[in-house]
Structure 1
Amino acid sequence: MRVRPISPEALAEELAGRIDALPRERPARVLIDGAPPSGPGRLADALVAPLRVRGRAVVRVSAGDFLRPASLRLEYGRTDPDVFYDDWLDTGALVREVLGPLEPGGTGKVLPALWDSRADRAYRLPYESLPAGGVLLLDGTLLLGRGLPAELSVHLWLSEAALARGTGADERWRLPAYARYECEARPRESADVVVRADRPGHPALEEPG
């Protein structure tokens, strides 16, 4: 395996080019996966402009807007790493409202956000239509290994030390969930693209040797 340093701007351009190479017969679903300190949302946002320049319509969705209600998420306490790993994300809603409608023959209508976890209530937003050739950019954490359908997946990898440094004291209880994710989902093996994100502002691409 080779590791190729790359600037954030060049990374966004290179990924946009790879996404643009996907067939235009239907919308493309792209997962940007990583623990919060790696910045999956920032990378997804950075891809919007270069994709639109290439003539691709884009819809942005964050998995954080598809968490289960607090009554289900926090049923066994607020700091259980296994519940965080297994039960916080409403994968059924993501497939039903976001990813499934972009399958061949689907409606092409995407719900951009479902549940406001801070207010613990539904957003009640209108659906957005994504035409053939459009791109759905879905960012989040612990996304891989759940059977979420996608045409391209990107994993932002952090070493154990970098993840610990970047995780705030109020969220350190989640670290065992991230360790479990590494062992069970093996995101560096299952993702189509792996980006090392240990050094903020200085990413590097992992490439086959």
Structure 2
Amino acid sequence: MRLVTTPRVAFLRELAAEIAQRYGRGRMIVAVDGPVQSGKTALADDLGAVLEEAGHAVFRARMEGFHRSRAAQDAFGDDTAERYYRYGFDESALKRVLVEPFRMAGSTAFVTRVLDPDRDAWVEPRWITGPADAILVLDGRFVLRERLDDLWDYRIVVDGEPVDAADRLAYADRDPRAVADALVDLTEPERPIRR
């Protein structure tokens, strides 16, 4: 389905073409990071739609779906910004049920979320698969931290300064803007520009 051409869609078509140029064939994972409430989820959703428009099989996931439960986080101490940054997400589950099976290029199924953070409840796994050529677009806070770096093929960061204490910790450890393949300014969300 052809999307209505707006400045945002035109921008994302250029970004999608750059991603596809690197992508070629097989499975690829695009990670979208940025400060809290920066617009990264909407950007990832729209990028996924533009990649689908270009004929790619696209899957979407959010780091929010890989939160640790509150009880699991409590095992790491008091509820602080540092605990949230360091232990708020279940990176092992992310790798085990999403990234690694997705990379198997269709020979096994994968799961795009394990927890509903709003209800603090595990979700029934919905195992999905797709063609050998596919793109996974994943967004979330801290996805460009160094220990996850080898998981991503293309890195997008929504430009902006850290908003809260957890963001400040993340940016002090490793500013995602320094490792981005594309740095996107969403000061005017309908007219994104590349930095």
TM-score, normalised via structure 1 length: 0.80
Q: Residue 131 and residue 203 in structure 1: after superposition, are their counterparts in 2 closer, same or farther (change >3 A)? A: same
2-structure distance, mates of 1:192, 1:14: 13
Q: Which residue of 1 aligns with 2:157?
A: 155
Cα distance in 2 between the residues matched to 1:132 and 1:23: 12
Task: Summarize the alignment of residues 189-204 of structure 1 with structure 2, pairs less than 5 Å apart.
Answer: 189-204=178-193
Q: Give the C-alpha shift of residue 177 in structure 1.
A: 1.8
Take 2:25 and 2:45, find their aligned partners in 1: how far apart are those partners?
24
Q: Aligned equivalents of 1:204 and 1:35: distance in 2?
A: 17
CA contact (8 A) 2:8 2:189 kept: no
* Partner Cα separation in structure 2 for residue 179 and residue 67 of structure 1: 19
Give the aligned residue type for 1:194.
L
Following TM superposition, by how much is the alpha carbon of 1:74 offset from its aligned partner in structure 2, in angstroms? Answer: 4.0
**Equivalent position SS for 1:51:** helix
Provide the rounded CA distance (Å) in 2 between the counterparts of 1:120 and 1:73: 11
Secondary structure in structure 1 of the residue aligned to 2:85: helix
TM-score (norm 2): 0.85
| Match of residue 94 from structure 1 | 94
Q: CA deviation at 1:72?
A: 2.0
How many pairs are equivalent?
Answer: 187
Counterpart position of 1:34: 34
CA–CA distance in 2 between the matches of 1:89 and 1:142? 9
1:119 alignment partner, SS class: coil
The question of whether the paired residues in 2 share the 8 Å contact of 1:30 and 1:150 is answered with: yes
Structure 1 residues without counterparts, runs of 5 or longer: 1-5, 164-174
Measured in 2, the distance between the counterparts of 1:21 and 1:38 equals 27
- The separation in 2 between residues aligned to 1:196 and 1:73, in whole angstroms, is 33
Offset at residue 199 of structure 1 (A): 4.2
Distance 2:114 2:33 in 1: 19
Could you list the runs of 5+ residues in structure 2 that have no partner in the other structure?
1-5
Aligned to 1:187: 176
Q: How does 1:43-192 map to 2 (within 5 A)?
A: 43-75=43-75, 76-78=77-79, 80-103=80-103, 107-145=107-145, 146-148=147-149, 149-159=151-161, 163=163, 175-192=164-181
Distance 1:129 1:68, change over 3 A: same
- Match for residue 166 of structure 1? none
Kept in 2, the 8 Å contact 1:24–1:134? The answer is: no
Q: Quote the residue 1:171 is aligned against.
A: none
Task: Give CA-to-partner distance per residue, 1:74-100, whole Å, 9 cap, x none.
Answer: 45344x110111000111111111111
Q: Structure 1 residue 105: deviation in Å?
A: 6.6
- Percentage of identical aligned residues: 25
What is the CA–CA distance in structure 1 between the aligned matches of 2:191 and 2:55, rounded to whole Å?
A: 28
Question: Counterpart of 2:40 in structure 1: which amino acid?
Answer: P
Higher strand proportion, which one?
Answer: 1
Amino acid corresponding to residue 27 of structure 1 in structure 2: R
Deviation at 1:138, TM superposition (A): 0.5
CA–CA separation in structure 1 for the residues paired with 2:188 and 2:169:
23
Pair 134,159 (structure 1): closer, same or farther in 2 beyond 3 Å: same
For the aligned residues, what is the CA RMSD? Answer: 2.2
The one-letter amino acid paired with 1:46 is D
